[in-house]
Structure 1
Amino acid sequence: MSLTVSVFGTGYLGATHAAGMAELGHTVIGIDVDEAKIARLSRGEVPFFEPGLPELIRKHVDSGRLRFTTDASVAAAEADVHFIGVGTPQRKGENAADMRFVDAVIETLAPQLTRPSVILGKSTVPVGTAARLAARVRELAPVGADAELAWNPEFLREGFAVEDTLRPDRLVLGVDKASAGRAEAMAREVYAQVLDRGTPFLVTDLATAELVKVSANAFLATKISFINAIAEICEVTGADVKELADAIGYDERIGRKFLGAGLGFGGGCLPKDIRAFQARAGELGVGHSLNFLREVDEVNLRRREHVVGLAAKCVGGVLHGAKVAVLGAAFKPNSDDVRDSPALDAAGKLYLAGADVRVYDPEAADNARAVSPKLTYSSSLEEACAGAEVILVATEWNEFKQMDPEVVAGMVAARKVIDGRNCLDPQRWIDAGWEYHGMGRFA
């Protein structure tokens, strides 16, 4: 059944979800307060890099199934279900999540709900938020209790967001058990095509649904920091963390995914989510339960310092004036997201140590320049590596993974490479005469 769906927020989450809903056959209205962003999306342009999304947006803007506006009243009047897909960034100077944008959606939308309505939250929020917002919706909406709010957390991976929207590995819906139950029925209609493929659909209470997302991110962050902590041990013992990860990964209780030692995690989700989780646990009086996440965060940040130290060793101990090529600025490949990027952070630390840093990223240069304007950005791999005394591979783009060490040797002043993502073939580079430094391997 085709529905009319509104999506509040047209950033990474909202725009992808809006396009996905249109692909599933619904008529979709994307809402945002940013007029410039709305204008671009209305022309079928995507203001960030996500593989497959521009094509999907253009397809459904052209078909008329997807449109964008700044007028929330259009959504209130026409949509059968409303999704909240706005950001919940870390509060400035604090660990807690900033809920202003989520709250603003409710304060804007709820007073305009004059017919039975369902609001499905997708943003990552502190546990307890959904219950608070549900009460606020009932208070503000002219239809009162006929305006239901439920929580439907997202589990998107940047670089694979379109696939994750259309073919998720599970759907989670948190509902108010005291409500009329329209939210679950509406969610089943929205995701009918997805559910017909046998996708697991878990219906929980509101608090559980909120905790599913942050718990998943906390676990993934812990797994990444675990292997990076082991990498620190490998580096002083001569062990190889990649071989170690392969060996323990065969244990089905552990698995190999997310056991890649390197510069650590970044982006707009894991770092701020584990900090907000700790902050919320403290507010609830159980802060001790998540004390371990503090060390997870510290291990992650320590890896960035580590590659700076490695770079200094490569150039004789003094970085001042040394030419360093940093390959990568995005926090991961197939993305232009530089939020809390280990690559950009490491480049900044090298710059502050006095190095002559040249950064190259095939997609994220503009975003990186906006965040770190003092760094020098190159338009090509060749330009970044020209005369470099050491190369740091900081984001595992295919372009970097596939570099020919013999060709790159003709660009640099010294054959020294730091494989910050353990994505190169060490023996190939060593055979080509390079001094190779991996993360937790080839000490």
Structure 2
Amino acid sequence: MALKITVIGTGYLGATHAAAMAEMGFEVLGLDVVPEKIELLASGRVPMYEPGLEELLARHVAGIEGSTGRLRFTTSWEEVGAFGDVHFVCVNTPQKHGEYGCDMSYVDAAFASLAGVARPGSLAVGKSTVPVGSAERLAGVLPEGVELAWNPEFLREGFAVQDTLRPDRIVVGVPGDDGGRAEKLLREVYAVPVAEGSPFVVTDFPTAELVKTAANSFLATKISFINAMAEICEAAGGDVAKLAEAIGHDERIGNKFLRAGVGFGGGCLPKDIRAFMARAGELGVDQALTFLREIDSINMRRRGQMVEMARQALGGDSFLGRRVAVLGATFKPDSDDVRDSPALNVAGQIHLQGGQVTVYDPKGMENARKVFPTLGYADSALEAVRGADVVLHLTEWREFRELDPAELAAVASSPVVLDGRNALDGERWRAAGWTYRAMGRPRA
């Protein structure tokens, strides 16, 4: 008899996981406590922008013409308990307000509710990013006969569908005493990607919990390293792009995540490394992660340095009354996520210092308006640049790389562009009459 799967929490992670499980052939029931979100998903639409997700969802949601009908949504815990053989918990774990630590309230509430309805013999699977030690504690919340496994997610926004259907690894943490049944069930769940070559790594609970935070900490370190090198290049007259190219040829280093710029943001890397530091302190090994504090500091400093670059481009004086165009609002391309976005942070800083800031982003405008309603917003890059004294490129959308610099130069008040992502073709922009500057690179 085929397994029936529930997905608890239908945000970015949960909605993607639910649709992917249906694509793999399972009957799936998604639960959320927000009725409006459930209504939206039940109509085949998603509350966020993620390439390919809405199409995948519509292919399986029950009630949509031509769908497989394998995917349904509910607000009923009782229905979840009666339906599911395997329950994936995919709720959010944000940073605590005013603290570095992780807010576990959503995870705790989800497990408490699941414990009241889960059938004996079913399996609960945590996918949320949690502090190490959480799984062992949560296992004690579940009733006798309901096992727990921990299966961290490794989704990249913009590639979430691909990362779920064809993951580069599947990590499964199971109890030290008897995790055989949990492993067997999850091998059945992930049979398709495993058959296609995805590694299946079985660990204990603590190791599975540490994999996600360790991976994000390593990526954050690599990004902040090249941004620190950009600071040195700026002081010494070097070229950080050439530096990155040269060291990237070393296979021990690799060339990914070595593009200097305004740094990382989003809902994962910043809060995950801070929560990791907080948990290390609780475990009495805070010195092991002291370096992450500097990684975070380098990252945040880049935003202020971009603001200062803009000020210098305007003559080094006040922003008051000067028009600044910002290309990008999301923390990365192919997403509408503006959480902890460097682009919006820079735009907001300049606005608070008196600049007349106009923002354009291909997908993030609605969310950006919610966060910074006092900024100006344009319907196109051309309109954002119109009359601008300086243009800041802060999110590396393909649309921005393909802009016609000559067309933009014709409407800008002063053709000065600052590339905060080192992604534009500087020679092409200079040939069109622009003064082009990029972080960590020579002026000429």
Sort the TM-score into its range (normalised by shorter chain). over 0.9
Alignment correspondent of 1:118:
123
Q: Do residues 82 (structure 1) and 82 (structure 2) align?
A: no
Contact 1:416 1:434 in 2 (8 A): yes
Equivalence map 1:96-135=2 (5 Å)? 96-135=101-140
CA distance in 1, matches of 2:39, 2:179: 38
Return the letter of the residue paired with 1:362: P
Contact 1:148 1:179 in 2 (8 A): no
Write the distance in 2 (CA, Å) between the matches of 1:95 and 1:384.
36
Q: Structure 2 CA distance, aligned partners of 1:183 and 1:342?
A: 41
Write the distance in 2 (CA, Å) between the matches of 1:34 and 1:208: 33
The question of 1:162 aligning with 2:170 is answered no
Whole-angstrom CA distance in 2 between matches of 1:401 and 1:321: 28
In the other structure, the counterpart of 2:186 is 187
- After TM superposition, the structure 1 = structure 2 runs for residues 273-352 of structure 1, keeping only pairs within 5 Å, are 273-317=272-316, 318-352=318-352
CA contact (8 A) 1:231 1:241 kept: yes
Q: Distance in 2 between matches of 1:75 and 1:48?
A: 24
Do 1:2 and 1:25's aligned partners in 2 also have CA atoms closer than 8 Å? Answer: no
TM-score, reference length from structure 1: 0.97
What residue identity is the alignment partner of 2:275?
Answer: A
- Which runs of structure 2 are paired with 1:245-260 in the superposition (5 Å)? 245-260=244-259
1:146-202 deviations in Å (ceiling 9; x for gaps): 210110000000000000000001100000021352210110110011111121111
8 A Cα contact 2:386 2:408, kept in partner: no
Aligned-pair CA distance for 1:112: 1.4
Amino acid at match of 2:138: L
SS at match of 2:116: helix
**Structure 2 residue matching 1:226: 3-state secondary structure:** helix
Distance 1:44 1:354 in 2: 43
State the Cα RMSD in Å. 0.9
Contact 2:277 2:289 in 1 (8 A): yes
2:432 matched residue in structure 1: 432
TM-score where L is the length of structure 2: 0.97
Please state how far the C-alpha of 1:2 moved relative to its aligned partner: 3.5
| Cα distance in structure 1, aligned partners of 2:58 and 2:179 | 38
3-state SS of paired residue (1:300) = helix
CA distance in 2, matches of 1:211, 1:389: 47
Matches within 5 A, 1:228-267: 228-267=227-266
Match of 1:413 in 2: 413
Tell me whether 1:27 sits opposite 2:22 in the alignment: no
3-state SS of the aligned residue for 1:176? coil
Match of residue 364 from structure 1: 364
* Structure 2 partner of 1:442: 442
- Secondary structure of 1:112's counterpart equals coil
Matched residue, 2:9? 9
Q: Report if the CA contact (8 A) 2:80-2:117 is conserved.
A: no
1:419-439 deviation line (CA, Å, top 9, x unaligned): 010011111112222111101
Q: Distance in 2 between matches of 1:389 and 1:133?
A: 55
Query: How far apart are the structure 1 equivalents of 2:85 and 2:119?
Result: 12
Q: Is the Cα contact below 8 Å between 1:419 and 1:438 reproduced in 2?
A: yes
Q: Which amino acid aligns with 1:55?
A: E
- Aligned partner of 1:412: which letter? A
User: By how many angstroms is 1:207 displaced?
Assistant: 0.1
Q: Which amino acid in 2 is paired with 1:258?
A: F
Confirm or deny: 8 A CA contact 2:357 2:376 kept in the other structure.
Answer: yes
Structure 1 letter corresponding to 2:287: H
SS at match of 1:358: strand
Partners of 1:114 and 1:150 lie apart in 2 by 16
Residues 180, 358 of structure 1: alpha-carbon distance in 2 compared, 3 angstrom cutoff: closer
For 1:412 and 1:161, locate their aligned partners in 2 and report how far apart those are by CA, in whole Å.
37
CA distance in 2, matches of 1:286, 1:211: 14
Task: Name structure 1 gaps, 5 residues minimum.
Answer: none
CA contact (8 A) 2:88 2:127 kept: yes
Q: Please show how residues 190-209 of structure 1 align to structure 2 within 5 Å.
A: 190-209=189-208
CA distance in 2, matches of 1:259, 1:195: 30
1:378 Cα deviation after fit: 1.1
Equivalent residue letter for 2:134 = T
**1:7 touches 1:84 (CA, 8 Å); kept in 2?**
yes
1:355 aligns with 2:360: no
The Cα of 1:114 is off from its aligned counterpart by: 3.2
Asked if the contact 2:91–2:106 (Cα under 8 Å) also holds between the matched residues in 1, the reply is: yes
**Structure 2 CA distance, aligned partners of 1:236 and 1:326?**
25
Segments of structure 2 that go 5 or more residues without pairing to the other structure are none
The CA distance in 2 between the partners of 1:353 and 1:298, in whole Å, is 22
Structure 1 distance, partners of 2:426, 2:198, is 40
Equivalent residue number for residue 379 of structure 2: 379
Listed one character per residue, the Cα deviations across residues 61-110 of structure 1 (whole Å, up to 9, x for unaligned) are 03210111111111110111000100000000100000011111110011
Query: Aligned partners of 1:442, 1:76: CA distance in 2, in Å?
Result: 61
- 1:314 CA drift (Å): 1.1
Amino acid at match of 1:19: A
Q: Does the 8 Å contact 1:323/1:387 carry over to 2?
A: yes
- Runs (4+) of structure 1 exceeding 2 A deviation are none
Could you tell me which amino acid in structure 1 is paired with residue 115 of structure 2? A
Determine the C-alpha separation between the residues in 2 that align with 1:125 and 1:232: 33
d(CA) in 1 for partners of 2:128, 2:120: 24
Offset at residue 113 of structure 1 (A): 2.1
Q: Distance in 2 between matches of 1:3 and 1:116?
A: 12
Taking the aligned partners of 1:179 and 1:100, their CA distance within structure 2 comes to 28
Amino acid at match of 1:113: A
Letter in 2 for 1:51: P
